[in-house]
Structure 1
Amino acid sequence: MAAPHWIALFACILAAWVVLYAMALPSDLRAMSQLYGANFWASLCVVTPDAAGFVRVVLMWALMSAAMMAPTALPAFATYDDLSNTEARTDFGQLVLGYIVVWIGFSILAGAAQMLLFTAGLLDPLGQSLSRMLSGALLIGAGLYQFTPMKEACLSKCRRPMTFFMQHWDEGPLRNGVRLGLVCIGCCWALMLLAFVGGVMNILFMGLATLIMVFEKLPDLGRYITKPLGRALVLGGLALGAGIF
């Protein structure tokens, strides 16, 4: 029988996906934007350039982070849970709390970036890029980041969670959760920002991106994904910028 803390964690992940699905606008309403333009979406309060709009955007990013990133960290959470059988100071809840706090911080920064891009006319109210150059730059940037030492260093920690936790064990569960969150951001921040290309509330994009990030962190499979994905993103960005598609 599953332990209560695992049931609670999976319930939170499922709830985040359910809420995101409920928040995603149906295709018929999206099609109406071609008839009514940005004013139509503003009237629906999808995004508004004010404090209330910023809060909604940050909440949306926090839900996205919970739904997309928690599944990628499940191997690390399981490793930490296994250690709780042999080591002291293994409060699973504090570990997850530290992880969540870091991603809330990322959500605030991503929400601020979305609001700035929206007010500059580079994003539509659904958070999707209106600029071919912006989309191309995001794709190329995410692709190039796949080849950086920072990406490799963070991925190596995610792929070997036992080693990661033993190196920092004495810091306690909360700080280990914060460290794990920072490492996950180091792995995935550039891919997460591709939501501005695919659409921030695009469920299909979120599902596909989640699968990619889960597989990329697997020690046996991930090494076959990182660099080919980087090449594909760079080529896609160049093609988009050149107007090929």
Structure 2
Amino acid sequence: MTRPATAARRPTARTGAVLLTAATAAAWTWTALRRGDMGAGTAAGELPAFLGAWTIMMAAMMLPATAPVASLYARTAPAHRTPRLIAFTAGYLLVWAAAGLPAYALAAGAARVATAHPTAGTAVAAAVFALSGAYQLTPLKDVCLTRCRSPVGSLLHYASYRGPARHLRAGAHHGAFCLGCCWSLMLLLTAFGVMNLWATVGLAAVITAEKRLPRGRLLARAVGLASLALAIGVFWLPLLAPNLTGGGMTDMGLRGP
């Protein structure tokens, strides 16, 4: 009886993997093709377009790193694994969608400062690099990264969740730790460009490596030191922060006329 049951569970596991892979591929395709199409017009009209694009971009960047956790969570139940996987992933992405609100405010504010006072763009970029780099070296970053790298304790905690929204709650809980781990890396998009494809790909690779490689913690510290170096270097080479010194916000409709 064990072998047929095991064989019956394999298609479900494959279905989950296919769904996550397809969602990631679709998100990356949209990000590559529509990265400059963030909407324009009034501020009220820009925000929904930005949040939609931001959420899709977060799916592209974050799903490769969190897919193993989502799949493991789905496998903790003997049945209904695909709905568990979908709900967990939805809860996870809801956290990152909500993070789009401060991201929009920061991106728009930085763009206005850089437009009104061009020389201030370099100083803003230096502050962004310094804040990102400093956080990468903090104990809080290490705690959040540890939760993302070793989620077994969290999965045991999720087993106590009850109610129809328990899978959504589990995904949101994991997403909160992931946000605590990665917000400093997302902050760098303020300097590089929120929809800068190469920056997006590079940061996604760093995020995945931090969470999945054996020396991910060492990489996190190395990235922090590199960001601190950029905070100094941007004064000599402003193009290190093209979004704040080279007009990168123009295509997003966030920079003033």
TM over 0.5: yes
For the aligned pair, the TM-score class normalised by the smaller chain equals 0.7 to 0.9
1:122 match:
114
The answer to whether the Cα contact below 8 Å between 2:137 and 2:221 also exists between their aligned partners in 1 is: yes
Distance 1:104 1:24 in 2: 17
Gaps of 5+ in 2: 1-10, 239-257
* Matches of 1:211 and 1:130, distance apart in 2: 30
User: CA shift at 1:45, angstroms?
Assistant: 7.6
Q: What is the one-letter code of the residue matched to 1:150? A: L
Q: CA deviation at 1:4?
A: 2.5
- TM value normalised by structure 2: 0.77
Q: Is the 8 A contact 1:91 1:173 kept in 2?
A: yes
Are 1:68 and 1:210, in contact at CA under 8 Å, matched by a contact in 2?
yes
Report the count of equivalent residues: 220
Percent identity over paired residues: 26
Structure 2 distance, partners of 1:190, 1:204, is 18
Deviation digits for residues 161-205 of structure 1 (CA, Å, limit 9, x no counterpart): 122211332123221111011011001011112111111121111
Q: Distance in 2 between matches of 1:221 and 1:123?
A: 40
RMSD: 2.6
Cα pair 1:141 1:190 within 8 Å, conserved: yes
Q: CA deviation at 1:56?
A: 1.6
Greater shift, 212-221 or 109-118, is seen at 109-118
Q: Is the 8 A contact 1:98 1:178 kept in 2?
A: yes
Alpha-carbon displacement from aligned partner over 1:113-167 (angstroms, at most 9, x marks no partner):
223333x24269xxxx981111111111110001112111101111111222113
Query: In 1, Cα distance between the equivalents of 2:157 and 2:80?
Result: 14
Partner of 1:9 in structure 2?
Answer: 20
Alignment correspondent of 1:224: 218
- Displacement of 1:216 after TM fit? 0.4
In 2, the alpha carbon distance for the partners of 1:123 and 1:221 equals 40
CA distance in 2, matches of 1:130, 1:74: 40
The residue aligned with 1:22 is 33
**TM norm structure 1:** 0.80
> Which residue of structure 2 lines up, in the alignment, with residue 73 of structure 1?
66
**Cα distance in 1 for residues equivalent to 2:147 and 2:134:** 20
Structure 1 Cα separation of the partners of residues 197 and 38 of structure 2: 19
Partners in 2 of 1:160 and 1:75 — Cα distance?
Answer: 11
CA distance in 1, matches of 2:24, 2:38: 26
Task: Give the SS at the match of 1:191.
Answer: helix
Contact 2:129/2:231 (8 A) holds in 1: yes
Instruction: Work out whether 1:149 is the aligned partner of 2:139.
Output: yes
- For 1:205 and 1:165, the matched residues in 2 are separated by 32
